[in-house]
Structure formats: structure tokens, C-alpha cells
Structure 1
Amino acid sequence: MLPRNAYRLVMLMPAVVLAYMFSSYLYHIIDYVRQTNPLSGQKYIELAFEASDAELACLRGVALPGEQLPPPGATDPIPNIVHFIFGLKNPFEHPDAGRFDFLSYLAVRSAVVSLRSSAIHLHYTYLSEPPSPDANADPMTNPWIRRLAEHITLVHHPPANSTVQYAHLSDTMRLQFLLEEGGVYMDIDAFALRPFDKLLAAPRPHDVVLGAEGGNRWGLCNAVMAARANSSFIARWLASYDHVDFSREWNYHSVLLPKEMAEEHPHEVCRLAPDAFFWPTWTWRHVDWMHEPLGREAAQYWKAEIARHGGSLFDNQLAYHSWSQMAWDRYLKHLNPSVVRSRDTRFNLLVRQFMEDDL
């Protein structure tokens, strides 16, 4: 007869094996419940909304209600320069850092196609493929970089201190680039769908263009934004990062603080409705909606809508932020050129237009 402890161990082993086998499924179920339960707050993020007159004026680059346009020639447009940041964390040592892959290529390619920018700067530390411990490894070893090379300028940055919070380093770098050069900043999981020409004409003193996040407009997100160089708003925002304990907060400085600052300095910011950059949102249901398979009739409908709107799902949509933190494991990591071309989802229909013919 087995000793009692050994017997318990034998009885426990099947449960351990089953838990291991179904761990990813269990995680999916737990994550679903966590995000969609009535207390999660996601229903407020998904609230229906209408763009205000001020938000529409910002979108169209005209004077906001109650304001006068400056005299002709008194307002220089925001420069049509695009900044991306990628590869600050070394994927050779940290595989979770990700690689510059097909979707990264599509994001940059969307700016090439849609924005017709005078320059596209890809700021990076590590881009080589396969990943290398050497920060000076040749980025042209990456086939996706080679495809983009003639359209972009690679800007190398030395490795950061190993104790740095990389997400917040990216936050401050983007503000620094906009402060020094002006232009458009886009996260590497954001896709430009139509030209930004009108909003880049935002009349002074509105030197910064930010989009609302969530139907309840709970914040102004820094994943897509535009600014003139030397903006006092950007300088103030950048200075706010000094002496911050980032281990105690995540999105305050990137989403909530800019809204607070915009309310304190409304004449410095042009605010866009959620559908300009950040709709659909990051919620479970919205991510599902973007990636659910479409039947023939639905696919034809959305193809027609995208054509009617000049490349976007909705009338006022200029970009789509794909919320990779929320969508990667469920959807984005499974995408490749064949899948994007052959499977009709709203996301695939949006980004398919940026694929080169030989992919």
C-alpha cells in the first residue's frame, strides 16, 4: 500500500497535468471575465459619442467656435514629419521586447502611403534580425527594414540604462522629438489611414493635436499626436516626467495628465473626438469586433465603407491604434501576409491596402 503522502501525490498529478494542458484556455476565460464583467468599467470606455463642434473644427484645421483665424501667413502648419520609436529594449536578452516584424512594417508603410510625409524617422536601438546583443548590429539584416529603407530615415540611439522603464523612456523620447522638430508621432502599432493635412493646419495658439481615448473621453492618448516645434504644452508635459516613480503608475502621464493639462491650457491644444485616432478602443468587445471573421456580405459592406471614406472605417477616422497590449495574444501575433490577404476581418481590410504587391 502506498504511503498516505505518496497516495495524495498520485491523486494530485492528473489535476496538475490537466491544469497545465488547459492553462492558456483558463487564462483566456479569466481574462474575459475580468474585462467584461459589469464592474470592469469597459462599458464606459465603449460609450457612444458625437464629435463636438470644437473637435470637428480641429479635425478640419479651421478656427474653433468663438475664435478667429489668424491672418493669412501667420500660422505655419505642423510639419509633416513622422516619428516612430522601436527597439529600445534588446530582444536578444528580452524576447518579450518583440521584433520589428510584418505588423511593424505595415504601420510604417501606412505612414508612407497615407501621409505623404516629407520625412519619416524610425528611432531605434535594436533592429537587426535575428536579434543581436550588439546595439550597433546592422538594421539592414531585417528584411522588413530593407523593404522600407528608401522611404525612411533610421535614427540610432545608444542603449538605455538597464534600470529604465522602457515604456516611459519611449514616452519622454516622443515628447523630446516633437519639442525639437515638431511633426507627427505614431506608436508602432498605429496605422495612418488618411492624410493628416487638415489637422496639421491647426491654427495657433493650438500647437498640439491630441485625440480622446474612450467614448467617455476619459483621457487624451499619446499613441498618435502632432505638434509644432517648441510647443509650451509639450515642454510642460515633458518636464512633468522629472522625479516620477513609474513603478507606482502606468498610464497617468501618457493618457490622464495630458487631459488635465489640456483643461488647464485649452488654447494650446486641439482636441479630437475618439474616432479620429482611437476608435474602436482597447476593450475586449471592441478588439473582438475588429478581428472577428466577416462573411461575404459583411466583407463587401466594409470594403465599400473603407473605399467611401478614403481608407478608413468611419467618416472622421484618420488612424487606427491597434492596441497591441490587448490584442497581441488573441489576434495580432497570428497575422502574416497570407492571413491578412486571405481572411476578411475589419482589421485586415484596413491594413491590406498597405501591403506591397509581392507580399
Structure 2
Amino acid sequence: MPEKLPTESSAFHFVFGLKPQNEPLHLMHYLCLRSCRHVHPGSKIHLHYRHLPHGPWWDRIAAELILHQVDEQTPGFDPTRYQDTREGRFIASAGLDYAHEADFIRLRALVDHGGIYADMDTFFVRPYPRTLYQHDCVLGEESPMRDPQTGIQRPSLCNAVIIARPGAKFLSDWLSNAIDTFDGTWSRHSCQAASLLWSRTPASLHVVPWWWFYGFPANRQGITQLFEEDAPLPEGLCSIHLWAHLWWRADRTDFSAFHEGLLNETHIRSAKTTYAKLASQFLEPS
């Protein structure tokens, strides 16, 4: 059996600031890093960035981070491929290409160094079970993805939280596959590729139920439960994924009328909602 990696000495990796930072670091991102620090005391927190964040919330957390500036071009990420598909052209025009570049950065960081990767719209609630660190690679499931060509729903794995040992074979194979299959569509090279690879080499990956890493589903009901209701936490939940890309902009209301402008310090301190009640403990007294 592989040597157990203690939770206290595990390293966390985040990717942020791939585009110029025209706005100060948002409170949600601060609470991601702050909750990670408190829930996993003693862990090293690595931030991989291109453009350094700034602002009052950044000033409160920056000294606790290990900073790594990434290159202007990320190996394997080819933005010209967005022109190959209608979906890719939409993603590029919407400015969401940073998410794909982060896909490649996270895999390479974990292959090289190991540890835990998490998206910056993660909120940490409880430590990940120590037994997970016995595996070479761990992912959480997500809702099935519909194949755009066949219309058939296929199992899917989410890459918003990844636990891995350095050089994990599953991640090395996934990175090679991502370089070959990236075509600008949202998840062919990431979540769908991971699911296909898992079906071929099931022993190389340990998969946990989706609510352990993500808590609430990426739909209107899940976002309502997070930001408008006081919902019970699923048993076994360790972290919550906030699915920020679905509600961040005020002009996007197909999932929620909630948006980043409403998620401020006043809201966190006063709202009696699932996320606000959990997050308020990480704000200093006013």
C-alpha cells in the first residue's frame, strides 16, 4: 500500500489571474483561500497566477500564499482551436478561455508536485478524509454529460477538485489526452476525457460521490439552495463548489438573479443562507 500522505502536510494548488486583474480580489475568492487555510491548518497553499491580484482582500491573505507566476503561453493549450467549433467560438467570445488554460496548468502542477487542486470558487467545510490520501489520484463524480453527437448521456467526472500524488499515471495520461483532444469545446478534454480514461483504467483512479467535493448541483435548484435558502448540508460533504460561472455576471439570470455584486461583506454577515452562514465565520469581527 502507498505511504499515507498526512492531511496536515498536504499542498493545495489554485490557479487565478490568468487575465489582467482590472478589479480587486473578490470576497468569494478570499473566502476560498481563507477557508482552505482554516480547515486544513499547516497545509501549504500555492497560487499559480499570471497577473497578480490586488485589493484589500488580497492584502489580508497574500502573505499566507506561495506564489508561482506562470508563463505567457501554457504548453498544450492552443487558443486557435476555438475556431474549429461553434461552441469554441462562443467560449472565446465570452472570455471563458481562461478556464481551459487553467485545466492544463492544474494537471501539470499536480503531475510535477502532487497535492490537492481546487477551483477558486470552492469553499472548504471539513477536512478531506485521510483515507483519500492513500490513492494515487482522486476525483469526484458530477452529473452525466450529454454527448453532443449522439445525444447519449455519459458518466462524467469533475476536475474542480483533484487529489493526486506526484507523477500519478492517471493524471499523466489525462494531460497527454487533453493536449491531443482539446478542440475548444467546454469539457471534451477535461471532464469527458477523465471519464473515458477512467472506464479504460479503473484501477488508476478513486472516485467519490459528487456531494463530497461539490455539495450542491450545478443547476437552478443548487444555486438557490446556496444563496437564497438555508439548506441542510449533505452527509459527507467536505467542500462546496459555488459554480460561479453560472451566476457571476448580473446580466446572466438563467440560473439565478444572484450575482457577484450582491456577494459582499454585508451579505455574508447578515444573510441567513447556506453559504453566508458557513462563510461568516471566516470574516474578522466588524
TM-score band by shorter chain is: 0.7 to 0.9
Distance 1:328 1:166 in 2: 15
Q: Which runs of 5+ in 1 are unaligned?
A: 1-69, 93-97, 130-141, 295-301, 306-312
CA RMSD of aligned residues (A): 2.4
Which structure has the bigger radius of gyration? Answer: 1
- Please state how far the C-alpha of 1:80 moved relative to its aligned partner: 0.8
**Equivalent pair of 1:277/1:317 in contact (CA under 8 Å):** yes
Distance 1:113 1:91 in 2: 26
1:270 paired residue among 188, 206, 228 = 206
Question: Could you tell me which residue of structure 2 aligns to residue 50 of structure 1?
Answer: none
Question: Could you tell me which residue of structure 1 aligns to residue 244 of structure 2?
Answer: 324
Distance 1:208 1:293 in 2: 34
Give 1:193's aligned amino acid: V
Distance 1:76 1:152 in 2: 25
Question: Could you tell me which residue of structure 2 aligns to residue 115 of structure 1?
Answer: 40
2:273 paired residue among 320, 331, 345 = 345
Give 1:235's aligned amino acid: S
Matched, 1:285 2:214: no
When residues 356 and 214 of structure 1 are mapped into structure 2, their CA distance, relative to the original with a 3 A threshold, is farther
Structure 1 outlier segments of 4+, above 6 Å = none
Distance 2:188 2:78 in 1: 20
1:288-313 Cα deviation digits (max 9, x unpaired): 1222255xxxxxxx6xx6xxxxxxx2
Aligned residue-pair number = 249
Give the 3-state SS of the residue equivalent to 2:285 in structure 1: coil
1:3-43 Cα deviation digits (max 9, x unpaired): xxxxxxxxxxxxxxxxxxxxxxxxxxxxxxxxxxxxxxxxx
- Please state how far the C-alpha of 1:158 moved relative to its aligned partner: 3.5
| Aligned pairs for 1:209-288 within 5 A | 209-214=138-143, 218-247=155-184, 249-288=185-224
Distance 2:203 2:42 in 1: 27
1:315 paired residue among 228, 235, 256 = 235
What TM-score comes out, normalization by structure 2 length? 0.79
Question: Could you tell me which residue of structure 1 aligns to residue 3 of structure 2?
Answer: 75
- Please state how far the C-alpha of 1:197 moved relative to its aligned partner: 4.5
Give the 3-state SS of the residue equivalent to 1:353 in structure 2: helix
- Please state how far the C-alpha of 1:259 moved relative to its aligned partner: 1.5
Identity of aligned residues (%): 30
1:88 paired residue among 7, 15, 18 = 18
- Please state how far the C-alpha of 1:168 moved relative to its aligned partner: 1.7
Question: Could you tell me which residue of structure 1 aligns to residue 49 of structure 2?
Answer: 124
Give the 3-state SS of the residue equivalent to 1:281 in structure 2: coil
Give the 3-state SS of the residue equivalent to 2:186 in structure 1: coil
1:148 paired residue among 39, 61, 72 = 61
Which shifted more, 249-258 or 208-217?
208-217
**Equivalent pair of 1:82/1:117 in contact (CA under 8 Å):** no
More strand by share: 2
**Equivalent pair of 1:189/1:323 in contact (CA under 8 Å):** yes
Distance 2:200 2:40 in 1: 31
Question: Could you tell me which residue of structure 2 aligns to residue 47 of structure 1?
Answer: none
Question: Could you tell me which residue of structure 2 aligns to residue 208 of structure 1?
Answer: 137
Distance 2:78 2:113 in 1: 28
Give the 3-state SS of the residue equivalent to 2:162 in structure 1: strand
Distance 1:271 1:101 in 2: 31
1:324-347 Cα deviation digits (max 9, x unpaired): 011223324111111111011112
Which shifted more, 316-325 or 260-269?
260-269
